[in-house]
Structure 1
């Protein structure tokens, strides 16, 4: 399943949960416990909305970052004059 399909499934489940909480509230009245559950449901909805925004942004970023052009021209040798050859020590010294 794709991310969007999974998020749609989460949204459907949250809608079902909200309907169930509404039915419980009608049967039990509006006590503290029901208000807590309702607040938790709203937090889950807000979190799911953030996930949707993040997923949309990541997919857009991924599409932009898919192609990377790498030049065929060789690197400038001057970039490496102050570096050590890894594992071999510095150029003007012997390895131990």
Structure 2
């Protein structure tokens, strides 16, 4: 049973990660690496719990304000000067 919303899908993945981390702890014991892994998993769970609601007015997808408009005007021909010899070596 898979969740379609991103938070639900993340919670499902986190549940699998939590179970995998528990198996690692069982296999390796209480080592520093295992404690750090467990702390990281716990931190992810806490961060997920603190998400709250999306920003008001947030529309998932491309932020149109961050896009750069490229005009259809022709480029300055001088920009292509010497372009034919680019990468070629004289013999």
TM-score range, shorter chain: 0.5 to 0.7
**1:33 aligns to 2:33 (yes or no):** yes
TM-score, with structure 2 as normaliser: 0.54
Runs (4+) of structure 1 exceeding 6 A deviation are none
Q: Superposed, which structure 2 residues align to 1:57-68 within 5 Å? A: 58=55
Unaligned runs of 5+ residues in structure 1 are 63-96
Unpaired runs of 5+ residues, structure 2, are: 58-91
Q: Match for residue 54 of structure 1?
A: 53
Aligned equivalents of 1:8 and 1:47: distance in 2?
14
Q: Provide the alpha-carbon RMSD of the alignment.
A: 1.6
Between the aligned partners of 1:25 and 1:47, the Cα distance in structure 2 is 22
TM-score (norm 1): 0.51
Larger Rg: 1
Question: Greater share of helix residues, 1 or 2?
Answer: 1
Q: Which residue of 1 aligns with 2:16?
A: 16
Residue 54 of structure 1, CA deviation: 3.1
Whole-Å Cα distance in 1 between the matches of residues 29 and 43 of structure 2? 21
Equivalent pairs, count:
54
